Amino acid sequence: MATASARPGTVLVAAGLAIIAVTYGLARYGYGLFLPEFRADFGLSAGAAGVIAAGSYAGYCAAAVLAGRLVAGGRARAALWCAGGSAALGCLLVAAAWSGPVLAAGALLAGSGAGAATPATVAAVARTVPPAGVPRAQGVVNSGTGAGVVAGGLLVLSVPGAWRWSWIAFAVAALAATAWADRSARWDAAPASAPEDLGTPGGGPARARLTRPMVAAVLAGTGCAGVWTFGRDLLADDGGLPDRLTGLLWCVLGAAGLLGGISGVLVVRFGVRAAWIATVLAAAAGTVALGLSAGAPLRAALALACFGGAFVALSGVLLAWGGLRAPDSAPAAAAALFTGLTVGQAAGAVMLGWVADATSAPVAFGVAAAVLALSAAAAEPRRADARPVRAGQRSGVPEPMV
C-alpha cells in the first residue's frame, strides 16, 4: 500500500512545488522583480511602490485566514483553487493595468494567492503523502519560492521589457499548476485541520505560546521587505545595471533560495535558537551588503545569494519553531507565523519606501538589515530551546522540513 501511494505523493509534491513557485516566486515576489518597469511606466515614487507592495502583503494575510478556515472545515480543495484563481486573476489585472491604482489592485489580488497556497498545499501533502515522508515533502514544496524567483529572472533575461506578456504567462502558469495539484492530491481523506485556531484572536493558550516566534517573524518580515520589494530597483536605479544583468542577479537570489532546506539540518543539530539567530543574521548581512554593492555585480550576486538562502532557511526555522511551541497544532502554527512574517513585510515595504524617499535606498537597506538583526533578540531562550525529534520517535513535534 505504501508503494502504491508513493507515486501519487511524488507527483503531488512536484505539483505543490509548482503552486508555491507560481504564487510566491512569481505572483507575489514578481512585483519586486518588475518594479523598475512599473516605476518607469506609472511614475511611481519609492514610497508609492512600498504602499502597493504592502497592499499585496495585506491581501496575502486575508487569503491566509480564509484558506485556513476552509482547510479546517474540510474544504482544502476549495482553498487550493482560491490560491490559483486569485493569483491568475491578479496577474491578468497587472498585465492589463493602465494606471497606478489598477496596478495596485492587481498586485493585491495576485499576492493573495500565496496566502491561500500554503494552507492548501500543507493539507494536500498531509492527505496524499505517506506519514513518514510528510516532513521532507513539505520542505520540498516550500522550496518552490526559489524556483519561481529563478523562472521570473529568466523571463527578464529572455524578454526584457515585455512585462505585460510575462504577467499573462504567470496567470496561465497559476491555472495550470492548480489543475495539476488538484488532480494529484487525495481529497477524500479526513480534514487536516488543527484542533486550535491560532491565526485569529481568541486562539487560547496555544496562540499565547506563539508570542515569541510571532514577534520574531514580524521583525524578520519587516527587514526582508527591503530586498524583496526594492532589491532589483536598487540594482537598476542606484547601481545603473542593465535589465539583463539584474534579471540574472534575480536568478541568483532564487537559486540560493533552493538551498534554504538546510534549515532542517540546523534545527536538528543546533536547536531552534541557534538556527534562528544564524539565519536572520545571514539575511541581515546579505541585505546590508546589497545596499553597499548595487553597482558591483559580483558583490551584489554574493549578497543576493546570502539573502536568498537565508530567507528560505529562516522560514523553515519558523515552521519548526511553531511545531515546537504548539505540537498539537503545527499546521495552524505554521500558518499563523507565516502570516506574521507577511504582516512584517507589509509594514517594512511602506516604512522602507518612506526611508528611501527621505534619504536614499542604501540607507533604507541599512535600516532593513538592522531590523533583521533585532529579530535575533527574539530567539528562543536558552533554557527553553529544544531540538525536534525525528520522524518515527514518540513525540507530537514534526521533524523540521529539509
**Looking at residue 331, what is its pLDDT?**
62
> Residue 380 has what DSSP assignment?
P
Average pLDDT over residues 216-230: 93
* C-alpha span between 218 and 259 (Å, rounded): 23
Cell numbers found for residue 22: 507560481
Give 161's DSSP letter. T
What pLDDT was estimated at residue 189? 54
User: For position 325, what pLDDT does the model report?
Assistant: 79
CA distance 261 to 280: 15
pLDDT of residue 387: 55
DSSP state of 296: -
Percent of the chain residues topping a pLDDT of 90: 33
Query: 28 CB contacts (<8 Å, ≥6 apart)?
Result: 56, 60, 110, 111, 113, 114
pLDDT at 244: 83
Question: How many whole angstroms separate alpha carbon 194 and alpha carbon 28?
Answer: 26
How far apart are alpha carbons 220 and 281 in whole angstroms? 10
Residue with C-alpha cell 492548480?
Answer: 178
Question: In the prediction, which pLDDT does 391 show?
Answer: 40
pLDDT at 215: 94
Q: What is the DSSP string of 126-155?
A: HHHS-GGGHHHHHHHHHTHHHHHHHHHHHH
Q: Is the dihedral of CA 283, 256, 170, 297 positive or negative?
A: positive
- Asked if the domains at 1-193 and 199-389 fall in one CATH topology, the answer is yes
Provide the CATH topology of domain 199-389.
Growth Hormone; Chain: A; (1.20.1250)
Instruction: Give the C-alpha separation, 170 to 348, whole Å.
Output: 25
Helix (H, G, I), strand (E, B) or coil at 360: coil
Residues 54, 225: Cα–Cα separation, whole Å: 9
Which range (96-105, 132-141, 180-189, 268-277) has the least confidence?
132-141
Domain boundaries, the chain: 1-193, 199-389
The CATH topology of domain 1-193 is Growth Hormone; Chain: A; (1.20.1250)
Determine the pLDDT at residue 396.
36
Q: Is the pLDDT of residue 342 over 70?
A: yes
Measured distance CA(298)–CA(305) in Å, rounded: 11
d(CA 251, CA 257): 10
Asked if residue 137 lies in contact with residue 238, where contact means CB atoms within 8 angstroms, the answer is: no
Contacts of 50 (CB under 8 A, 6+ apart): 229, 230, 349, 350, 351, 352, 353, 354, 356
What's the pLDDT at 133?
Answer: 73
Task: In whole angstroms, give the CA distance from residue 228 to residue 361.
Answer: 13
Reported as a single tens digit per residue, the pLDDT across 60-91 is 888 888 887 888 788 889 999 999 999 999 99
What integer pLDDT is reported at residue 394 of this predicted model? 37
Which set of grid coordinates corresponds to residue 270?
A: 543546533
Cell matching residue 324: 515546537
Q: Which residues contact 338 (CB under 8 A, 6 or more apart)?
A: 64, 118, 217, 315, 318
Q: How confident is the model at residue 401 (pLDDT cuts 50, 70, 90)?
A: very low
pTM (predicted TM-score): 0.77
Q: Which of 342, 281, 270 is nearest to 306 (CA)?
A: 281
Q: Where are the alpha helices (DSSP H) in 238-329?
A: 243-257, 262-292, 297-325
CA-based nearest residue to 304, from 349, 356, 249: 249
